[in-house]
Amino acid sequence: MTAAMVGWAHLPFGKHADETVESLVVKVATDAISDAGISPEDVDEIYLGHFNAGFSAQDFTASLVLQADDALRFKPATRVENACATGSAAVHQGVRAIRSGAARVVLVVGVEQMTTTPGPEIGKNLLKASYLKEDGDMPAGFAGVFGKIADAYFQRYGDQSDALAGIAAKNHKNGVGNPYAQMRKDLGFDFCRAESEKNPFVAGPLKRTDCSLVSDGAAAMVLTDTATALGMNKAVAFRSLAHVQDFLPMSKRDILKFEGCSKAWGQALGDAGLALEDLSFVETHDCFTIAELIEYEAMGLTAEGEGARAINEGWTQMDGRLPVNPSGGLKAKGHPIGATGVSMHVMTAMQLSGEAGDIQVRNAELGGIFNMGGAAVANYVSILQALR
């Protein structure tokens, strides 16, 4: 364990029409620095996770973090991007900077403002996270990509509509207790399962309740080396981390296996000397419910084609053998692309520090995070543990 989170901040996800990318960044960076109990002068390096892809006219954003305090002027600041895993990419870069000795204190910020973009443009922007040569004309945009995956899964393993509705219902129930979640409403299994005017089919077998929300939001953290962290007010260490990149075209792989996800989990658990059952909970990338279902299998919770067991038998509920997405996940919390991975790390740190309030997992000691970009193309896993 060479790096630890010693402070963090999280803005509520949702529609922030009165904010800008800059104002979101400034607020969350200021709050994270304050939470860590450090001064801006103490920061050695800055990483900003910001996907953008057309959501913001201001496309050169790394230096916006410096707007939080004049003392950040002349600090090295770099924008990091890896589709929907942009936030985790920034976090992992920050950890590597500390691990290498290049920095002692790193500020990581993740941000996205999506809701001010017209609806058709949102879909076009998100589709840029797929392989346009194959998917550029996909009906329903990125939802169409995962609708295609869901169709293929259903054909191979049978109708999974009950499982998908169970995942949506679980995450919405969890999100009720999360003050940062965009949708804090327990929709219930029956609503998520049935097609209705309020819950129409969007792509293939995926209904509206199977799709994550379009969001604005930001999250941030302060990282330092573990020796320094032991003298801070709180410290959540990176037990291990892994990044696995797979082919972009789905035609070059079995898309129902999420092999990059599986390999990333294997590497992270192996490096930490842990098994999946050692984890207290997992925050996983449920951009669509079919993704969470396949991720159960890829992380090794169930065998291939048996992911439905995990939700149908209650394994992933808050009181189950491995709670998954106690925060409500992307499904209820929202999915501002560049902020998502940072948010997942902050939520996990809150759990391990006993600060998670109404979504607190009992006796949380080890937390796992899986954040992916595209359809299991960029795969990031972190395993966190409280130092104090």
Query: Which phi-psi region, left, alpha or beta, contains residue 216 (left: φ > 0; alpha: ψ -120 to 50)?
Result: beta
The model carries a pTM of: 0.98
Q: Tally the C-alpha atoms within 13 A of residue 352's C-alpha that lie toward its C-beta.
A: 33
Average pLDDT over the chain, rounded to an integer: 97
Residue from 167, 210, 174, 211 nearest 189 by CA = 167
Query: For the CA atoms of 375, 377, 378, 383, what is the dihedral angle to 10 degrees?
Result: 70
Which of 84, 211, 261, 287 is flagged as catalytic?
84
**What is the pLDDT, as a whole number, of residue 239?**
97
Residue 37 lies in a domain: yes
CA distance 106 to 103: 7
Residue 11 lies in a domain: yes
**What is the pLDDT, as a whole number, of residue 157?**
98
Domain that holds residue 100: 3-114+214-229
Residue 56 lies in a domain: yes
Residue 378 makes CB contacts below 8 A (sequence gap 6+) with: 82, 83, 84, 85, 89, 243, 245, 260, 372
Residue 12 lies in a domain: yes
Asked if 72 contacts 46 with a C-beta cutoff of 8 angstroms, the reply is: yes
**What is the pLDDT, as a whole number, of residue 78?**
98
Residue 224 dihedral angles phi and psi, to the nearest 5°: -150, 175
DSSP 27: H
Number of domains in the chain: 1
- Cα of 295 vs its chain's centroid, Å: 13
pLDDT at 234 over 90: yes
CA angle 209, 210, 212 (to 5 degrees): 90
Helix axes 289-298, 259-272, angle to 10 degrees: 50
pLDDT in tens, 174-200: 999 999 999 999 999 999 999 999 999
Which of 10, 16, 172, 335 is flagged as catalytic?
335
Query: Across the strands, what pairs with 236?
Result: 5, 386
**Per-residue pLDDT averaged across 325-352, rounded?**
98
CA angle 380, 346, 273 (to 5 degrees): 50
pLDDT at 388 over 80: no
pLDDT in tens, 83-94: 999 999 999 999
**What is the pLDDT, as a whole number, of residue 141?**
87
**Per-residue pLDDT averaged across 38-58, rounded?**
97
pLDDT in tens, 94-118: 999 999 999 999 999 999 999 999 9
Residue 104 dihedral angles phi and psi, to the nearest 5°: -105, -30
Active site residue 192: no
Residue 79 lies in a domain: yes
Q: Map residue 260 onto helix, strand or coil.
A: helix
Query: Across the strands, what pairs with 238?
Result: 384
Q: Map residue 215 onto helix, strand or coil.
A: coil
pLDDT in tens, 296-336: 999 999 999 999 999 999 999 999 999 999 999 999 999 99
pLDDT in tens, 125-150: 999 999 999 999 988 889 999 999 99
Residue 256 lies in a domain: no
What pLDDT band is residue 368 in, cutting at 50, 70 and 90?
very high
CA distance 369 to 388: 20
**What is the pLDDT, as a whole number, of residue 1?**
82
Q: Among the listed ranges 53-57, 150-154, 178-182, which one has the minimum average pLDDT value?
A: 53-57
Asked if 209 contacts 165 with a C-beta cutoff of 8 angstroms, the reply is: yes
Residue 52 lies in a domain: yes
CATH number at residue 15: 3.40.47.10
What is the percentage of the chain residues whose pLDDT exceeds 70? Answer: 100
Q: How many residues in total does the chain contain?
A: 388
Per the listing, tokens 């954003």 go with 61
CA distance 64 to 92: 20
**Per-residue pLDDT averaged across 351-376, rounded?**
98
**Per-residue pLDDT averaged across 142-166, rounded?**
97
